[in-house]
């Protein structure tokens, strides 16, 4: 599936297929994926809200993080997160369709910077900034086994 020497995916779209947490557990869909850009959606289910009856912040982070991953890996690189931060502006609620739109802002050497907006029907509910590092598949496998 990958070219280990160059650290690229033969088919970047397989990344989400293999991400069972995003697809099977949380029901995310990739609406768009092009070079350095991705749009991912997720419907907020009743079991995704917290005690205040608003979507759990960790799940807003997760849909943003998935869009970040799709944008950073869209051209076939193997890019992993090295850090991220999120700012919440408004709550989401059960039944909302969350749309996370990611755009890579910068690629310098192995470093990647990507911004993600998360919206519901009322507007923007959060902004996420992700930092990534491009690695080879061999290095990724070695770090997973150590």
Say which residue, 82 or 143, is predicted with more confidence. 82
Question: Over 50: is that where the pLDDT of 47 sits?
Answer: yes
* % of the chain with per-residue pLDDT over 70: 81
Question: Over 90: is that where the pLDDT of 13 sits?
Answer: no
| Domain range list for the chain | 2-145
Q: What is the mean pLDDT of residues 82-109?
A: 97
Cβ atoms within 10 A of the Cβ of 87, count? 8
| pTM: predicted TM-score of the whole model, two decimal places | 0.85
Average pLDDT along the chain:
86
Distance of alpha carbon 25 from alpha carbon 45, whole angstroms: 11
pLDDT at 88: 98
pLDDT at 57: 97
Q: What is the mean pLDDT of residues 68-87?
A: 89
CATH architecture of the region 2-145: Roll (3.10)
DSSP string, the chain: -EETTTTEES-TTHHHHT-HIIIIIT--EEEEEETTEEEEEEE--GGGB-TTSSB-HHHHHHHHHHHHHHHHTTTSB-EEEEEEEEEE-S---TT-EEEEEEEEEEEETTEEEEEEEEEETTEEEEEEEEEEEE--HHHHHHHHH-
Question: Over 50: is that where the pLDDT of 132 sits?
Answer: yes
Question: Over 80: is that where the pLDDT of 16 sits?
Answer: no
């Amino acid at each position: 599936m990958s070219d280990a020497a160059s650290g690229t995916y033969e088919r970047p779209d397989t990344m989400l297929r293999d991400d069972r947490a995003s697809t099977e557990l949380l029901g995310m869909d990739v609406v768009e994926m092009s070079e350095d850009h991705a749009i991912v959606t997720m419907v907020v289910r009743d079991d995704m809200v917290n005690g205040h009856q608003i979507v759990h912040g960790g799940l807003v982070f997760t849909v943003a993080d998935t869009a970040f991953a799709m944008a950073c890996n869209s051209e076939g690189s193997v890019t992993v997160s090295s850090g991220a931060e999120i700012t919440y502006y408004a709550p989401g609620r059960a039944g909302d369709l969350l749309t996370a739109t990611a755009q890579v802002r910068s690629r310098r050497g192995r470093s990647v910077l990507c911004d993600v907006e998360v919206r519901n029907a009322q507007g923007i509910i959060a902004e996420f900034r992700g930092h990534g590092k491009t690695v080879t598949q061999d290095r990724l496998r070695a770090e997973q086994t150590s």
